[in-house]
Structure 1
Amino acid sequence: MLPTTQRTLLARVARAQRDGRVPSLVAGVVRDGELAWHAGRGALPGGADADDVQYRIGSITKTVCAVTVLRLRDEGLLDLDDPLDTHLPGTPFGDRTVGQLLAHLAGAGAESPGLWWERTPGGPLAELGLSDDDRVLPAARRFHYSNLGFGLLGELVARRRGRCWTEVARDEVLLPLGMTRTSTRPQDPAAAGHAVHPWADLVLAEPEHDAGVMAPAGQLWCTARDLARLGAFLLGDTGGVLSPATVEEMTVPAGIDASSPVWAAYGLGVQVHRVEGATLVGHGGSMPGFLAGLWVDREEGTGALALGNTTAGMDPGLGAGLLADLRAAEPRIVDEWSPEPSPVDPALLGPWFWGPSPYVLRAVPGGLLHLSGLGRPGRTSRFRPGPDGTWVGLDGYFAGETLRIADGHLWLATFVFTRTPYDPAAPVPGGVHESGWHHRTG
């Protein structure tokens, strides 16, 4: 990384630590699958390397929890449409699905009942005393962030695996990714959690406990170097823990956070933000005494992280700012274009018509097809090869729909795309009026 870039990044981190009055702050940038740059400011544990100091990462733990759930799905042990009762019977959320819980669409309460779970010791699920009062919204009605929901997901994983969630996360996610300095309780060197007085430059120690069944919602402690490895995972270096296709599935927005001042959504265990033209995937985290953030730009192949030991005050836009600085100072040089075989006969590409609306079908890198409006807005989707010569929608309006190219037409859902507008020789639903195209409207 260029010295000028490093200075720009350091200046942003230094200002965030000073202006946010963060007792200690470690931040870094992920590039080429590793922690390419990092810096520490403030009172770090004596003699410790900044990238090896543990901080509590709060809700970034939810991303790890989601990975443990999706591993079960990919193994065929559950489906995202399964009601929770199928795998975790006896809760008030039995009719809510696994996928709804992952995307915060299950209408579960934001917090677990009882004392503030983040500042008091936790116990098993039975001690939560869940009731119908914890169902605060109908299922799939709106996004509602739920720590309780991820506690339930962790318990689901524990029941399916036959051991506690923390052990599953360690053995199936953390260790395979090389995150050997990530743990459920602090291991030295670790930062001490503090609250900073709102009107004076004073600090107060914050408590730290085992969260019990709520651990999957925010229990983990992590170093900058380990968090960078999780960032590389979100960028596609999955280490065999999940397939790249499943990680991409995690990043598809499911629930929209209407309270956010910017475009913000939630996928499956990850937050998805649109900031100044860039789509950032990752998660923020907060627990008493700690704030954290991990954000990656999958288009640029870069990520940024921040770890601070304060309950409030750290700039929530620090990660996005570091990525913006990096894009401006050292923009990614994209791969060279070179010809590659067309996944279909090139004669099938080009203009098509849905009724009178012009579309264009293109071959795009990766062996995919791309359908979009031609010269005007249209329903846009990419398609990957499917079984029996069909194609399956990856995104957009036709996500999940099957495209068939047969008999000189495109067959997509109930639509028939033809080479000319309302081709009278084509099987257009509803038929084509016998008078054909003419200049009279009366």
Structure 2
Amino acid sequence: MTSPFASLLPSTERALLHRVAVAQSEGRAPSLVGAVARDGRPAWSGARSCTEGHEPDADTQYRIGSLTKTFTAVLVLRLRDEGLLDLSDPLDKYLPGTAVGGATIAQLLSHSAGLAAESPAPWWERTPGSLRPELADVLGEQPLLHPPGRRHHYSNTGYTLLGSLIEAVRGKPWKEVLRRELLEPLGMHRTTCDPQDPHARGWAVHPWADVVMPEPAEDLGLMAPAGQLWSTAADLCRFAGFLTEGDERVLSADSVREMRTPSAPAEPGDWEGTYGLGLQIVRRNGRTLFGHTGSLPGFVACLWVDAEEGVAAIVLANATSGPTTAAAAADLVRIVVEAEPRFPEPWRPMPEVDEALLELTGAWYWGTSAFGLKLVEDRGIELYPLSGQGQGRGSRFRARTDGTWTGLDGYFAGETLRVVRRPEGRLIHLDLGSFVFTREPYDPAAEVPGGVDEEGWRGLPL
């Protein structure tokens, strides 16, 4: 079944549907739905089912498991942006008495707080949340397995704590905060804590025989912020657009970019994956993707976004294991990017010229390493090593009101760049985190650390 809002070439649509069909067949899933969004708008959806004529569509709910964590992380970032907390604050400041209160909010968001991955038995995903009525029941007797901040260790219990943190600061249930502050503003009316028709039923598929068994669908109680939600491919296309561009009604573009900035080290042997603040960051098919995977008994899910190409893909299936939704979603992104590459924005001149900024452009030298400096929008600048030169220490910089710039990425992220001039106004050099950039290599007229030899450059006698 193809979505009525399809806007891709027929050949691309066929390739996408073929990949969905392969994922459903090889993964032995009772049903599987895939969708693609481009530049924040739904572009295609397709599905396969074991029952002909009963394929799901982009409005069919599936349980999305740990994709719920990204929603919880957005709510925490909202609290930060409102000044109600700081990510460096210890949990104990807002939620005392948990036995893990020394861990910071940022560490909980990035799964680096050292908490255990799961709550004590019985397995929380297949049992009622009422079995764990208090946080002590979720955390158990040994909640910390590693020193906080030392390593990435995925933790479902950590996101339970974040859900309780949201409730403590807002004074309202997590479910209500989620609905009012995120789902309603984004128009995600088919994303709910409990299933609403039409929805898929969760199944376990026997590993050695083509037979199935229904899986329970429990209310997870306190564990809900780690994996409770049901959603649709159409709603997740909207969410992917929000995670790409932000939405001032929910979270700014700067804050969603912060979410997808690596915050935790990669696990040994997994150098193609890391974690931000509620978002996974992976390398697939030579591209950087962010999003999240999810699973609960009876369901697997994945959402990946390629921000550079503006393409997002969602894959949802109703089987406990088998369908490789992460690989399939990455392939859907790849198919669109390769078949219909994004057109670059038309080049346009800047609306006005600032002579003082224009004077800064061109070649600069850090010692003998050559760099280029160019202007970008909103009075920003970009400093980058020229081909074959430098040590790769380039960054983009945002203008401050005091006439300096702050590094946004790369080696100089967070560092201050300032222009140094003589009293009469003549440009001397750039100062960047104590590095001096001059117009010529070791310019004797500039304030080069250590000074410049009086005899200057010379040949080497034979």
TM class by shorter-chain length? over 0.9
The answer to which of 139-148 and 422-431 deviates more is 422-431
What's the CA shift string for 1:157-183, capped at 9, x where partnerless? Answer: 110000111111111001111011111
Once the two structures are TM-superposed, the CA of residue 94 in structure 1 deviates from its matched residue by: 1.5
Which of 370, 373, 385 aligns to 2:382? It is 370
* Residue 13 (structure 1) aligned with residue 20 (structure 2): yes
One-letter amino acid matched to 2:101: G
User: Contact 2:33–2:56 at 8 Å: present in 1 too?
Assistant: no
* Residue 349 (structure 1) aligned with residue 368 (structure 2): no
Relative to structure 1, the CA distance from residue 17 to residue 35 in structure 2 (aligned partners, 3 Å threshold; closer, same or farther) is same
Once the two structures are TM-superposed, the CA of residue 111 in structure 1 deviates from its matched residue by: 1.2
2: CA distance, partners of 1:125 / 1:421 = 65
What's the CA shift string for 1:35-65, capped at 9, x where partnerless? Answer: 2211121157987861121110011101100
Secondary structure in structure 2 of the residue aligned to 1:255 = coil
Q: 1:113-132 to 2 correspondence within 5 Å? A: 113-122=120-129, 123-128=132-137, 130=139
Q: 1:14-413 to 2 correspondence within 5 Å? A: 14-43=21-50, 50-122=57-129, 123-128=132-137, 130=139, 133-236=142-245, 238=247, 240-258=249-267, 263-315=272-324, 316-340=326-350, 341=352, 345-365=357-377, 367-375=379-387, 376=389, 377-407=391-421, 408-413=428-433
Once the two structures are TM-superposed, the CA of residue 95 in structure 1 deviates from its matched residue by: 1.6
Identity among equivalent pairs (%): 53
2: CA distance, partners of 1:45 / 1:269 = 37
2: CA distance, partners of 1:229 / 1:112 = 32
User: Contact 1:284–1:292 at 8 Å: present in 2 too?
Assistant: yes
* Residue 416 (structure 1) aligned with residue 426 (structure 2): no
One-letter amino acid matched to 1:350: G
Structure 1: give runs of 5+ residues left out of the alignment: none
Residue in structure 1 matched with residue 447 of structure 2 by the alignment: 427
User: Contact 1:69–1:153 at 8 Å: present in 2 too?
Assistant: yes
User: Contact 2:49–2:56 at 8 Å: present in 1 too?
Assistant: no
Relative to structure 1, the CA distance from residue 318 to residue 259 in structure 2 (aligned partners, 3 Å threshold; closer, same or farther) is farther
2: CA distance, partners of 1:142 / 1:433 = 47
Superposition TM-score, scaled by structure 1 size:
0.94
One-letter amino acid matched to 1:35: P
Once the two structures are TM-superposed, the CA of residue 33 in structure 1 deviates from its matched residue by: 2.2
Once the two structures are TM-superposed, the CA of residue 299 in structure 1 deviates from its matched residue by: 1.0
Once the two structures are TM-superposed, the CA of residue 222 in structure 1 deviates from its matched residue by: 0.4
User: Contact 1:114–1:128 at 8 Å: present in 2 too?
Assistant: no
Secondary structure in structure 2 of the residue aligned to 1:280 = strand
One-letter amino acid matched to 1:415: F
User: Contact 1:185–1:221 at 8 Å: present in 2 too?
Assistant: yes
Residue in structure 1 matched with residue 5 of structure 2 by the alignment: none
Once the two structures are TM-superposed, the CA of residue 378 in structure 1 deviates from its matched residue by: 2.5
2: CA distance, partners of 1:247 / 1:308 = 27
Relative to structure 1, the CA distance from residue 335 to residue 329 in structure 2 (aligned partners, 3 Å threshold; closer, same or farther) is same
Once the two structures are TM-superposed, the CA of residue 406 in structure 1 deviates from its matched residue by: 2.3
1: CA distance, partners of 2:337 / 2:201 = 33
Once the two structures are TM-superposed, the CA of residue 260 in structure 1 deviates from its matched residue by: 6.2
Secondary structure in structure 2 of the residue aligned to 1:170 = helix
User: Contact 1:232–1:238 at 8 Å: present in 2 too?
Assistant: no
Once the two structures are TM-superposed, the CA of residue 237 in structure 1 deviates from its matched residue by: 5.0
User: Contact 2:88–2:104 at 8 Å: present in 1 too?
Assistant: yes
2: CA distance, partners of 1:182 / 1:237 = 18
What's the CA shift string for 1:233-289, capped at 9, x where partnerless? Answer: 112152621111111111111223335656111111111112223211111111111
2: CA distance, partners of 1:223 / 1:205 = 20
User: Contact 2:62–2:318 at 8 Å: present in 1 too?
Assistant: yes
2: CA distance, partners of 1:351 / 1:61 = 48
Relative to structure 1, the CA distance from residue 326 to residue 48 in structure 2 (aligned partners, 3 Å threshold; closer, same or farther) is closer
1: CA distance, partners of 2:82 / 2:52 = 42
Superposition TM-score, scaled by structure 2 size:
0.90
The answer to which of 357-366 and 201-210 deviates more is 357-366
Structure 2: give runs of 5+ residues left out of the alignment: 1-7, 422-427
Secondary structure in structure 2 of the residue aligned to 1:60 = helix
One-letter amino acid matched to 2:241: A
1: CA distance, partners of 2:54 / 2:22 = 23
How many residue pairs get aligned? The number is 442
Secondary structure in structure 2 of the residue aligned to 1:27 = strand
1: CA distance, partners of 2:236 / 2:269 = 25
The answer to which of 346-355 and 304-313 deviates more is 346-355
User: Contact 2:32–2:56 at 8 Å: present in 1 too?
Assistant: no
Secondary structure in structure 2 of the residue aligned to 1:133 = coil
Once the two structures are TM-superposed, the CA of residue 118 in structure 1 deviates from its matched residue by: 1.0
User: Contact 1:288–1:311 at 8 Å: present in 2 too?
Assistant: yes
